[in-house]
């Protein structure tokens, strides 16, 4: 199964929005990393990842998001995350990633933060 | 409830972790764990199975074994891999290597959080080398705790 089909990309005002429609356990997390690295290869600078339809995220997926956010910042861009369920917020807080990646309540607020 | 064991063996491939995660979630819910604890159990299972698949197996054919032990008071998960050290693979995880990874972990690390998560969320955690040159990780979640009231 290719979970990248459940990761939809669109663009608004020059910002790439990646909407995830699958839980991010180990298998899908690898696909998420591939999708994000493709964006880096395309020289995309601004990314919002919408996790509103995700009820589980593991540390591999969190690590992929953190890694890409750090690399984008080096070139003046950023990756911001939005619409986390309570479970996801707890995972980000436990790892400490919420202090590294900017997290917003809604997609609109994440877009507005650029 | 008498003590019961459920034994599973999955191919060492990430694809098979998701159905096991779904299974353990349903089981934990049936046992009466709160929604929050069910999510914790699923996350820990995901993390320790991911380590076993990615770092504890030569290839997908060897498999990862799970023993899920349930009784009135707890849910215990044991994940056993066969190791990959004898292949010269540098990414294999021994208890010593995992301790080193944990010591170097930071919020901005892109990897190395799995064992930290398991230790943080489980009521008991144990890791040791096994007889087949691999690693056993055992975690226990206690059912009857004052703070485990159903939401």
Inside any domain, residue B42: yes
Domain with B72, as residue range(s), is: 4-142
Q: What is the pLDDT of residues B51-62, one digit of tens each?
A: 888 877 666 677
pLDDT tens-digit map of A51-94: 999 999 999 999 999 999 999 999 999 999 999 999 999 999 99
B150 within a domain of the structure (yes/no)? no
Q: How many folded domains does chain B comprise?
A: 1
SS3 state of residue B41: helix
CATH number of the domain where residue B33 is located: 3.30.565.10
Q: Is residue B151 part of a domain?
A: no
Q: Which residues in chain B are contacts of A23 at CB distance < 8 A?
A: 18
Cβ neighbours of residue A4 closer than 8 Å, sequence gap 6 or more:
A31, A34, A35
Share of chain B above pLDDT 70, in %: 85
Q: Which of B14, B109, B114 sits opposite A30 (nearest CB)?
A: B14
| Position B147 in a domain | no
The complex's ipTM works out to 0.92
What's the token pair of residue A73? 């910042």
Does domain A3-112 sit in CATH 2.40.50.100?
Answer: no
Report the alpha-carbon distance of residue B37 to residue B91 in Å, rounded: 31
B77 within a domain of the structure (yes/no): yes
Axis crossing angle, helix B35-55 with helix A86-95, rounded to the nearest 10: 50
Cα–Cα dist B77/B136, whole Å: 10
Nearest residue of chain A to residue B115 (CA atoms)? A59
Domain extents for chain A? 3-112
């Amino acid at each position: 199964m290719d979970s990248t089909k459940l990761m939809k990309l669109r663009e608004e005002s020059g910002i790439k929005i990646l909407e995830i429609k699958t839980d991010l356990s180990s298998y899908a997390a690898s696909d998420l990393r591939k999708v994000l690295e493709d964006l880096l290869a395309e020289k995309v600078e601004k990314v919002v990842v919408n996790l509103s339809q995700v009820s589980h995220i593991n540390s591999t997926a969190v690590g992929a998001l953190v890694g890409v956010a750090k690399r984008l910042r080096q070139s003046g861009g950023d990756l911001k995350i939005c619409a986390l369920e309570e479970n996801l917020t707890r995972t980000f807080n436990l790892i400490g990633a919420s202090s590294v990646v900017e997290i917003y309540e809604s997609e609109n607020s994440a877009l507005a933060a650029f | 409830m008498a003590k019961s064991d459920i034994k599973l063996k999955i191919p060492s491939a990430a694809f098979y972790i998701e159905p096991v995660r779904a299974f353990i979630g349903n089981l934990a819910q049936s046992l009466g764990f709160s929604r929050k604890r069910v999510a914790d159990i699923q996350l820990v299972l995901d993390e320790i199975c991911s380590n076993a698949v990615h770092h504890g197996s030569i290839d997908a054919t060897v498999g990862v074994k799970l023993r899920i032990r349930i009784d009135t008071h707890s849910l215990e998960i044991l994940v056993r891999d066969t190791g990959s050290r004898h292949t010269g693979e540098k990414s294999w995880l021994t208890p010593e290597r995992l301790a080193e990874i944990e010591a170097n972990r930071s919020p901005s690390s892109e990897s190395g959080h799995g064992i930290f998560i398991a230790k943080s969320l489980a009521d008991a955690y144990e890791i040791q080398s096994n007889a087949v040159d691999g690693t056993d990780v055992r975690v226990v979640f206690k059912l009857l705790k004052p703070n485990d009231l159903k939401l």
